[in-house]
Each structure stands twice: as C-alpha cells, then as structure tokens.
Amino acid sequence: MEAARGKLVRFEAEHVGKEGLPAVIDFSLKPVLNEQGETVLIIPEGRDITERKRAEEEAQRMQQESAHVMRLSTMGEMASGMAHELNQPLTALVSYCGTALKLVRDVPSLPEGYIDILERASGQAHRAGEVIRHLREFVSKGNNNKTRVVLDELIHGVIDFIGWDLRDSDIQVAFQPDPRAHEVCIDKIQIEQVLINLVRNGIEAIKGAGISGGQVDIATRLTTDGSIEISVADNGPGIDPSISNSLFEPYQTSKEAGMGMGLSISRSIIEAHNGKLWADEQRQKGALFCMSIPGCE
C-alpha cells in the first residue's frame, strides 16, 4: 500500500448516504512518519464532492448538447439551401410535364396509358414541390407573426410532410377532425414544429419497441371555453415512469440519441400562444399528449 510506504493516497468512491442517496467521496490516506521515515500512522480523510461531480457532469452534458444544437443549426441552413436548389429543377419539371400534356392530348394513336403516365409524373412533381416548399418554411427562422389558420388543414399538411418517416413501416397516422372547421391565430411554423415533434415521438416509440400494427391518432375538438384541443395518441410502450414527473423539463429523455428538449420547447411554444400542453398520465396503453389553443375571436 502506497500510504504505508510514506506516500499520500487519494481516490474517489461512491457510497450510500444516510438518506439512502448515492454520494461521491474524495478519500485521502495521509501517512504520518517517524524520524526514520517509517509510516507509524495513517490518517484517513474524506470530503463529500457529490455536488461538484454533478456540476462537472452537467457542464459536460451542456457542452455536448450545445455542440449538438450547433450541428442541427448547420443542418437547417444546409437543408434550406438544398431546398432552394431543388426547387428550381422541380419547377422546370412541372413546366415540362404540363407542356408535354398539352402537346400529346391532340396526338392521335398514342400508346395506351401514355397520357396517364404523364399525368402521374406531373402530379408527383407537384407533390415534390410542395414537400420542398414545406421544408423551406419549416427550417426558416420565421418572424413570429401570428396569422389566421384553419387548424385541420395545417394538420393534414403535417401528416403529408412526415409521410417519408413512415416508409417501409406498417405504422398508420389517422386524423379525426371535429366536424366544425376551426380557425386559430398562430405562428404556423411553430405549431407545425410542436405537432411534428409529438407525432414523431409516437412513431419513434413504436419503432423502438418493435410493435407491429403501429398507430398514431390525431384528433381535434372544440372545448366549452372556445379553445381547440388537439390530441396525439399512439399505441407504443407509453411514457417511461422514470421521467414521467419531469417529462417537460429540459434534457429529460428516454432516447439514446435524444436531446430531451422537444417537449420542453413545445410547451414553451404552446404557452406563448396562451395555450396548454400536457400528457395524460391515466392512459394505460401507449402515450397521449393533448394541447389546447384559443380560437380566433
């Protein structure tokens, strides 16, 4: 032992404190030497450094998350530039398809299905253009302007936008709108961001659990106080009990690659719209998130 040879020994160890909570102790073994330089006594000392270790770990995590945010910001800028570049050839493609359709409609004896193929190509080009337009809007910084929006139309657009996330899966996203169309005064991009986050959380939970026949259900309804309530439910594994009480706090996540900021930011956005966002803790199967937004006056 180093202390027995006259050398100071220091090490860290974890132990359970009086209240049953884990603590980190910085131990030192200080030797006391006689005139011959021999160790005659070893004095043990210990300092509780739990808070310091937690602060160091939190600082490291914050640094990692900051780097992640910077990467996401860079990706957003790249996506915006790519969307702009893709928009030009798509616009040309739509124009070419339209011109070709005009020309061939007067041509006799065309092969069977020829016009149908051109119409399908034109339709897909239009659809790709809409996806690109939506992407450019979503990654833009926005100007925090609130406008009147038909909520059900916005939700249909969100479902179309995230369709790529459902490729090669049997997960279905269904929407049950209230029979009455609702207008809300919102920042369109921000509310889309919240909806996309909630729906994708459900999709990722279902995929991660390997559940067959996954389902995400979106519904809207008009409440008695005139607000519009939107619910997003899934048949995934449900909310992890270990984070259920801190679900909307920053950096709370059960995902290995998650930042834990989505729900925290989403609640901030909804509250900035004078609304509420909450999770139904009584749901027995899967997760259910609800948010309410005041209707336009």
* CATH, residue 111: 1.10.287.130
Is the same domain home to 296 and 237? yes
Average pLDDT for the chain: 79
Banded pLDDT at 290 (limits 50, 70, 90): very high
Is the same domain home to 260 and 190? yes
Q: Which domain holds residue 222?
A: 145-297
Is the same domain home to 152 and 289? yes
**Looking at 94, 113, 141, which one is the last position of a domain?**
141
The residue whose two tokens read 């920053």 is 250
Model pLDDT, residue 79:
67
Q: Is 65 within a domain?
A: no
Is the same domain home to 250 and 185? yes
* CATH, residue 185: 3.30.565.10
Domain tally, the chain: 3
Is the same domain home to 13 and 134? no
Highest mean pLDDT out of 15-19, 77-81, 142-146: 15-19
**Looking at 141, 172, 200, which one is the last position of a domain?**
141
pLDDT tens sequence across 73-130: 666 666 666 777 777 788 888 888 888 888 888 787 778 888 888 888 888 787 777 7
Is the same domain home to 168 and 281? yes
Residue 54 has pLDDT above 60, yes or no: yes
Q: Is 55 within a domain?
A: no
Is the same domain home to 209 and 182? yes
The residue whose two tokens read 């139309």 is 153
Q: Is 165 within a domain?
A: yes
Q: Is 59 within a domain?
A: no
- Cite the beta strand spans of the chain per DSSP E: 9-16, 22-33, 39-48, 147-150, 172-176, 183-186, 215-222, 227-234, 276-279, 288-294
Q: Is 64 within a domain?
A: no
d(CA 186, CA 260): 25
d(CA 155, CA 161): 10
d(CA 61, CA 123): 47
Mean pLDDT score, 172-192? 87
Is the same domain home to 225 and 297? yes
Dihedral sign for Cα 228, 253, 157, 168, please.
negative
Is the same domain home to 245 and 110? no
Is the same domain home to 108 and 79? yes
pLDDT tens sequence across 211-269: 888 999 999 998 888 889 999 999 998 887 766 677 777 655 555 444 445 788 888 88
**Percent of the chain scored above 90 by pLDDT?**
15
- The DSSP annotation for 26-81 comes to EEEEEEEE-TTS-EEEEEEEEEE-HHHHHHHHHHHHHHHHHHHHHHHHHHHHHHHH
| The Cα angle at residue 44 between residues 41 and 46, in degrees rounded to 5 | 165
Is the same domain home to 212 and 292? yes
| pTM of the model as a whole | 0.57
Is the same domain home to 173 and 238? yes
CB-CB contact of 145 with 189 (8 Å)? no
Q: Is 41 within a domain?
A: yes
**Looking at 97, 117, 141, which one is the last position of a domain?**
141
Q: Is 53 within a domain?
A: no
Q: Is 54 within a domain?
A: no
